[in-house]
Amino acid sequence: MITAATADAVRELERRTMISTGDDALMQRAAAGLAAVLAAELRHRAGHLYGTAVTLLVGPGNNGGDALFAGARLAARGVAVRAVRCLGRPHAAGLAALLAAGGRVVDLPEDGRLSGPVTLVVDGVLGIGGRPGLPEPVARLAEAVAEDGWPLVAVDLPSGVDADTGAVAGAAFCADRTVTFGVHKACHLLEPARGRCGVVERVDIGLEAADTTAPGWLHALEDDDLALGWPYPGAASDKYARGVVGLDAGSDQYPGAGVLSTTGAVHAGAGMVRFLGADRPAELVRRRLPDVVFSPGRVQAHLLGSGWGDRPDGADVVAAALDTGLPAVVDADGLRFLPDHLPASWLLTPHAGELARLLDRERGWVEEDPLRAVRAAAARTGATVLLKGASQLVASPEHGWVGVAVPGPAWTARAGSGDVLGGICATLLAAGLPAWRAGLLGASVQAVAARTHPGPLPPHALAERLPETVGRLEARARALGVRP
């Protein structure tokens, strides 16, 4: 699990730590960790440290301070270190340390272009105190560094990205590696910023322990969390222990959605799937998936809404499912028929546009800050919410932190993926998982199945790979010492 924080949560943690360590200690620890990563990177690229050349891009705050102090440590070991003043006046003590160690300082050229020799460029322009976007000529510099192909290590985060939302509104640096301090920052987990961070390395700077369940914290699943959290059936599990899913998805107008959600549920390992939807999708499901049953009976979780279209009895179907007291996934068109308040055991699976509609907002409002949006939706509805998209986020009304699913390849963003995902999540609910866990594991298993395939697959074919993926996860869980 990767734990990350928003800038306010990080500052609060740093403030508490500084009471016992003093102001300077944290920056010195950060600089030492950064220098170690830079030295390893220089050795990796040049085969040695002495005589390599590092260009530090420094801004006016402590982010530049980290870069300057790290640069001083490298200069003392024979690296030619040059600091480029990019914005305002650099951190005074950091600059003095660099100059004393034999480094030098220059102004940013008007055209924003760096001249060689450069083994490595270090982006210390802005950190968590940065407002998103870069002023000229730093914006030009960011473009030139990318165009010229200089290898780039970002200090804490690539300057220009929004530390809390992951938004990239204007120019921003694009790093090969990002060295962060204490805890990951939200932008390391959230697209599009995530894609500009490269490999993120966390340096321990001895921050105090934090309540990471509070608002302002994110928890991102990694492959091993998925392997350890998946509900594998035991030797004695019958179909009810694995869970029965009742699906009302698809319509005569959109029958494919019914087939796709059912395919997702069957291949995610549901004990039994009852298809309870319209006639046309039922006919297609009957032909393609002989293990599905069509009679009403006991179910342990519902799936409603995918491919419903403008269904006249939508509100009644949702109300009837609510009356059963069972958990449910509500997807797509079903989201238009929700009552004012839902239980946290219900999992809503909107994409950005659907979430915007749910909150009477514009889509842009969701996209500019998906964390805020997913939390608002959970608070407004009382349900657990899985926001689908480039970063898949889960918020629950029962806790402040937000979960982030394992990221998948971009090609999974296509019509039908969401229908399959609904079926997977309903299977996990039927197996007895809480809704937030079902959302996180469901989105993650789909991403891992996609990632382990060499090229794009249509959603139904990806669903068919789920058993193999779950098999690999189970083997990994055993290797980690867990006996399902």
Nearer to ligand NPW, 61 or 370 (CB): 61
Nearer to K ion, 187 or 285 (CB): 187
Q: Name the nearest CA neighbour of 304 among 348, 354, 242.
A: 348
Residue from 16, 36, 49, 60 touching ligand NPW (CB under 6 A): that is 60
Q: Name the nearest CA neighbour of 407 among 270, 226, 268.
A: 226
DSSP 336: G
126 phi/psi in degrees, rounded to 5: -140, 145
Kindly state the number of chain residues that form the binding site for ligand NPW, as judged by CB under 6 A. Answer: 24
CB of 129 to ligand NPW, least distance (A): 2
Torsion sign, CA atoms 225, 226, 231, 234: negative
Nearer to ligand NPW, 85 or 311 (CB): 85
Q: Is 123 annotated as a binding residue?
A: yes
Residue from 52, 63, 417, 469 touching ligand NPW (CB under 6 A): that is 63
| 181 counts as binding ligand NPW under rule CB under 6 A | yes
The binder of 123, among ligand NPW, K ion, none, by C-beta within 5 to 8 A per type, is: K ion
In which region does residue 355 sit, left (phi positive, over 0), alpha (psi from -120 to 50) or beta (all else)?
alpha
Q: How far is CA 94 from the centre of its chain?
A: 34
Nearer to K ion, 155 or 462 (CB): 155
Residue from 7, 114, 155, 376 touching K ion (CB under 5 A): that is 155
Nearer to ligand NPW, 161 or 335 (CB): 161
The answer to whether the beta carbons of residues 419 and 388 sit under 8 Å apart is no
Q: Is 131 annotated as a binding residue?
A: yes
The answer to whether the beta carbons of residues 368 and 379 sit under 8 Å apart is no
| 14 counts as binding K ion under rule CB under 5 A | no
Q: Is 128 annotated as a binding residue?
A: yes
Return all residues near 479 (Cβ < 8 A) that are at least 6 apart. Answer: none
Q: Is 418 annotated as a binding residue?
A: yes
The binder of 232, among K ion, ligand NPW, none, by C-beta within 5 to 8 A per type, is: none
Q: Is 159 annotated as a binding residue?
A: yes
Nearer to ligand NPW, 33 or 422 (CB): 33
**Going by DSSP bridges, is the β-strand pair 272-275/244-248 parallel, antiparallel, or unpaired?**
parallel
Q: Is 325 annotated as a binding residue?
A: no
Considering only residues 3-22, where is the footprint of ligand NPW by CB under 6 A? 14
The answer to whether the beta carbons of residues 425 and 415 sit under 8 Å apart is no
| 229 counts as binding ligand NPW under rule CB under 6 A | no
| 170 counts as binding ligand NPW under rule CB under 6 A | no
The binder of 212, among ligand NPW, K ion, none, by C-beta within 5 to 8 A per type, is: none
Residue from 159, 306, 391, 469 touching K ion (CB under 5 A): that is 159
Nearer to ligand NPW, 128 or 303 (CB): 128
Nearer to ligand NPW, 61 or 416 (CB): 61
Considering only residues 98-127, where is the footprint of K ion by CB under 5 A? 123
The binder of 162, among K ion, ligand NPW, none, by C-beta within 5 to 8 A per type, is: none
The binder of 103, among ligand NPW, K ion, none, by C-beta within 5 to 8 A per type, is: none
Percentage helix, strand, coil for the chain under 3-state DSSP, each rounded to 5: 45, 15, 40
Considering only residues 361-390, where is the footprint of ligand NPW by CB under 6 A? none
What's the burial of 234, exposed, middle or buried (CB within 10 Å: 0-12/13-18/19+)? exposed
The answer to whether the beta carbons of residues 62 and 27 sit under 8 Å apart is yes
Q: Which residue has the tokens 């001895």?
A: 206
Q: Is 115 annotated as a binding residue?
A: no
Q: Is 351 annotated as a binding residue?
A: yes
DSSP 271: S
Q: Is 257 annotated as a binding residue?
A: yes
CB of 135 to K ion, least distance (A): 15
Name all contacts of 231-236 with Cβ < 8 Å and 24+ positions apart.
231/428, 231/431, 231/432, 231/433, 232/470, 232/474, 232/477, 232/484, 233/269, 233/484, 234/484
Considering only residues 26-85, where is the footprint of K ion by CB under 5 A? none
Written as one letter, the residue type at 355 is L
Q: Is 211 annotated as a binding residue?
A: no
The binder of 384, among ligand NPW, K ion, none, by C-beta within 5 to 8 A per type, is: none
Nearer to K ion, 123 or 331 (CB): 123
The answer to whether the beta carbons of residues 230 and 470 sit under 8 Å apart is yes
CB atoms under 10 Å from CB of 114, counted, come to: 19
Considering only residues 87-146, where is the footprint of ligand NPW by CB under 6 A? 87-88, 126-131, 133, 135
CB atoms under 10 Å from CB of 61, counted, come to: 19
| 155 counts as binding ligand NPW under rule CB under 6 A | yes
85 bridge partner residues: 58, 107
Residue 130, CA atoms < 13 Å, CB-side half-sphere: 38
Residue list, annotated binding site: 62-66, 123, 127-133, 156, 159, 257, 307, 351, 418-419
Q: Footprint of ligand NPW on this chain (CB under 6 A)?
A: 14, 26-27, 30, 59-63, 66, 87-88, 126-131, 133, 135, 155-156, 181, 205
Residue list, annotated binding site for AMP: 418
Q: Footprint of K ion on this chain (CB under 5 A)?
A: 123, 154-155, 159
Residue list, annotated binding site for K(+): 63, 123, 159
